[in-house]
Amino acid sequence: MMGLALAATGPWAIRYPRDRVPAADFSTQPVEVGRAAVLRRGKAGAILGLGSVVAAAMAAAEMLAAEGLDLTVASARFAKPVDGPCVASLVAEHPWVLVLEDHTAPGGFGSAVLEAAAEQGLETRNIHRVAVPDEFIEHDTRGAQLAAAGLTAEKIAERVRTLCGKA
């Protein structure tokens, strides 16, 4: 990402959390501006994560695969522009899409995904968001804050079980 930003002719912003994040790079696909990367494919549902929450999404998908729930997981890679074709594909091929972001929901990435879907005439009722609530968040460790927001692998797995009717 840094290489793309340095080579760009216009302004860029790279967002990073205030704590260590997994150094895992789940995709071997080259980074292309505005394009998401599908990291695993399944039919039970889809998770579209942005940034550091992709590691938790992958861990949840592994957990749930052991229970017979095979999920598609995609890394958005970019908050803007939203990868419209990827969103369309996820909506068309899955009964639901869960969008994960580690910042507030109003006006966030999930909202942008809903807008991208609506602009394409896609059904948005089965697009669900997990994000930090739009309220004062007590100071704590990043892990505790993510847990409170439902953004750990375990909490994501719980949400997926509910979406699949397995809760």
**Which is higher by pLDDT, 29 or 120?**
120
Prior bond of 81 cis (ω within 30°): yes
41 belongs to a structural domain: no
26 belongs to a structural domain: no
68 belongs to a structural domain: yes
32 belongs to a structural domain: no
Q: Pairing mode, if any, of strands 37-40 and 71-75?
A: antiparallel
> What pLDDT shows up at residue 53?
92
State the total domains in the chain.
1
CA distance 94 to 113: 15
152 belongs to a structural domain: yes
Q: What is the pLDDT of residues 72-111, one digit of tens each?
A: 999 999 999 999 999 999 999 999 999 999 988 999 999 9
The range of the structural domain enclosing residue 112 comes to 47-163
DSSP annotation string for 53-71: HHHHHHHHHHHHHTTT--E
pTM for the model = 0.88
> What pLDDT shows up at residue 5?
77
Q: What's the average model confidence in pLDDT over 152-161?
A: 97
* Residues near 15 by beta carbon (within 8 Å), at least 6 away in sequence: 51, 79
35 belongs to a structural domain: no
8 belongs to a structural domain: no
CATH of the domain at 112: 3.40.50.920
144 belongs to a structural domain: yes
* Res 22 pLDDT > 70: no
Q: What is the pLDDT of residues 29-81, one digit of tens each?
A: 788 888 999 999 999 999 999 988 999 999 999 999 999 999 999 999 999 99
Q: In this structure, which amino acid lies at residue 121? A: G
- In what helix (H) or strand (E) does residue 87 lie, and over which residues does it extend? helix 84-93
